[in-house]
Amino acid sequence: MSTFRIIAGREMKLALRNRSVIITALIFAVWFPVMSGVGIASGAGGDAAVIAGGIAAIVLPVGVFMGYLFCADAFLREKRDGTIETLLCTPVSLRHLWEGKVAGVTVPAYLTTLLSAAVTITAVSTLAGVPVAVGPLLIAHLAIVVPVWIAAAAGLIGAAQLALGMRENQILGFVFIFGFIFIIIGLQGIAPGGAGISPATEGILAAAGAALLVLARFIAGKVTRERIVLTIP
């Protein structure tokens, strides 16, 4: 079994055993879509494209938040309990460690986001009184764009958590989240297609998410073991 699979599998198991994170994620995955569904249903006017665009616009920030939620435990946990020092003594490179952890965080965060998407679709369909057509663009959004952005969010936040101290991480976590949300809103605003979902919008979002993921991997590769040791409380 490869080192990547071992690290990713370990993080997934730990994430699924963390009751506080799971409960918080489930509450947010249900509460936020239901509240947002009211606005989508009232503003769509029965337009299927607008409804699909509204659902896509809600699900993506939820995915980013889920990435942050699961990521906070994966990277900071080992600094708090001191086990990061043991990991630093292993022959695994920091980039491989980062990659495994990001994959292990992305899977449960993505599954929770899919649950949130199902709740959103059900809520909007019920409130609007019309069935929501899950077309190819919405499927592509959920299958490609959302997991890429979850991995990018977890990757950037995780790299920062490795490189920075505990106090800095407490502040920058929310800065990253709001930064990602502003980027998403900005990209959706400049993309052609209006309030609905369009190939251009999905293409721009997918490309931007991939670029952020590449940037996160580059930053993670620049973090040194000495830097991490200096940030251990």
Contact assessment for residue 80 and residue 233, using Cβ atoms and an 8 Å cutoff? yes
Count the Cβ atoms, other than its own, within 10 Å of residue 212. 19
Instruction: Give the sign of the dihedral formed by CA 209, CA 215, CA 217, CA 219.
Output: negative
Burial class (CB in 10 A: 0-12, 13-18, 19+), 200: exposed
- Residue 143 CA, chain-centre distance (Å), reads 13
Whats the size of the chain, residue-wise?
A: 233
Question: What is the per-residue pLDDT for 227?
Answer: 72
Contact assessment for residue 227 and residue 209, using Cβ atoms and an 8 Å cutoff? no
pLDDT along the chain (233 residues), means of 10: 78 83 86 74 62 81 89 74 68 81 92 90 74 80 93 88 71 77 81 68 90 90 75 67
Model pTM score: 0.86
Dihedral angle over CA of 231, 174, 110, 10, nearest 10 = 20
Question: What is the per-residue pLDDT for 144?
Answer: 94
Contact assessment for residue 233 and residue 166, using Cβ atoms and an 8 Å cutoff? yes
